[in-house]
Structure 1
Amino acid sequence: MKDRIKIIVGDITQLQVDAIVNAANCSLLGGGGVDGAIHRAAGKELLEECRTLGGCRTGESKMTGAYRLPCKKIIHTVGPVWHGGGHHEPELLASCYATALQMAETHHLKSIAFPCISTGVYGYPHAAAAKIAWDTVKSHIRDGKYEGDVVLCCFREEDAEIYRKLMQNQTYTD
């Protein structure tokens, strides 16, 4: 498992993977944080394609071309806004990771990079979000639902450290 999941601190727009995941808003038309960085780096063609998609619901994913990015595809997913955890936020966040991995597998994408979805302006607590991401990615790999490699690309060293601790706490059967 550990050889299939890599934890890095870096700029997701610079990664040479088959797909990067965009922590998008429901409109898919760009925003701040990771979403804005991806739209700026990809170029105006990304916005033009996103306009044809009709938005995206929270917990779901849609795919576009990558345009000027070094990856092949962008998988846009809409994470939940944190409202204390009692509004299906954990299930919706897990669905972001699951639907993106399913899309990558369906389209034979052998490597995918995720940002820390919903932990910026959407306010999801970092440790709780990382645990959901880790568990969802791990189960998809373990169960053979995704056969590629996964990069957990963190903007902050603190988030990478949370993932490293989760990885260290895994047993062989996990």
Structure 2
Amino acid sequence: MKIKLIQSDITTLRVDAIVNAANSSLLGGSGVDGAIHRKGGPAILEACQEIRATQGKCNVGEAVITTAGDLPAQYVIHTVGPVWNQGGKEKEELLKNCYKNSMHLAIENKVKTIAFPCISTGIYKFPKELAATIAIETIKNYKNQTIIEEVIFVCFTHEDYAIYDRIVNNEN
């Protein structure tokens, strides 16, 4: 499994699955969540509404999978990151679960390429360095699985890209 880092808009990527930093309602929001819902069209919202009708909201750390609608990806994996507030180990575990549960859904659905945004670092205020470290370490734990061929960390801003780049290059 190859790990790649790019600075881009996740909604433009031709990959099997993109991950959405969703809120627990699954009904769209701001940031990457809003962009995915806007650009993906009504099919994503309809799929999310069906999930809500069956299971209710999506809890923090959990993930669900839907169509990608009008996006160039095949699937959107929606995961709900933790709000930092005062932080702590519990928040770190919940963020780690976002990546684990997204990877499990990707493997179950035979996804070969998956792209992750920076989860919880926007309005949820998770410290960016810590979030990037958790993301990279958690994904590296999947290096021996045989389904996913490429994981792409998609940073929207140069600041996020620089943080991920430093962490990736310090660990290699």
Q: Does 1:127 align with 2:136?
A: no
Which position in structure 2 is the counterpart of 1:22?
Answer: 20
CA distance in 2, matches of 1:147, 1:70: 18
Report if aligned partners of 2:81, 2:95 keep a CA contact under 8 Å in 1.
yes
Code of the aligned partner of 1:106: E
1:100 pairs with one of 99, 102, 106? 102
Q: Percent identity?
A: 49
| Secondary structure at the counterpart of residue 77 of structure 1 | strand
CA distance in 2, matches of 1:101, 1:145: 12
Q: Does 1:164 align with 2:170?
A: no
1:90-122: per-residue Cα shift (whole Å, max 9, x none)? 000000001101110111100000000000000
Code of the aligned partner of 2:99: Y
CA distance in 2, matches of 1:49, 1:96: 20
| Secondary structure at the counterpart of residue 4 of structure 2 | strand
CA distance in 1, matches of 2:16, 2:151: 10
Report if aligned partners of 2:155, 2:161 keep a CA contact under 8 Å in 1.
yes
- What is the Cα deviation at residue 62 of structure 1? 0.1
What number of residue pairs does the alignment pair up? 168
TM-score where L is the length of structure 2 = 0.93
CA distance in 1, matches of 2:165, 2:89: 28
Which position in structure 2 is the counterpart of 1:10?
Answer: 8
Report if aligned partners of 1:102, 1:145 keep a CA contact under 8 Å in 2.
no
Code of the aligned partner of 1:149: E
Give runs of ≥4 in structure 1 deviating > 3 Å: none
Select between 81-90 and 112-121 the one with higher mean Cα deviation: 81-90
CA distance in 2, matches of 1:27, 1:145: 33
| Secondary structure at the counterpart of residue 119 of structure 2 | coil
Which position in structure 2 is the counterpart of 1:81?
Answer: 83
CA distance in 2, matches of 1:65, 1:92: 24
CA distance in 1, matches of 2:138, 2:63: 15
Code of the aligned partner of 1:126: K
CA distance in 2, matches of 1:45, 1:166: 36
TM-score where L is the length of structure 1 = 0.92
Which position in structure 1 is the counterpart of 2:93?
Answer: 91
1:41-87: per-residue Cα shift (whole Å, max 9, x none)? 00012111111112211000000001100000000000000022226
Code of the aligned partner of 2:161: A
| Secondary structure at the counterpart of residue 100 of structure 1 | helix
CA distance in 1, matches of 2:147, 2:140: 10
Alignment of 1:42-61 (within 5 A): 42-54=40-52, 55-61=57-63
CA distance in 1, matches of 2:146, 2:129: 25
1:13-34: per-residue Cα shift (whole Å, max 9, x none)? 0000000000000000000000
CA distance in 2, matches of 1:108, 1:74: 13
Report if aligned partners of 1:79, 1:93 keep a CA contact under 8 Å in 2.
yes
RMSD: 1.3
Unaligned segments of structure 2, at least 5 residues: none
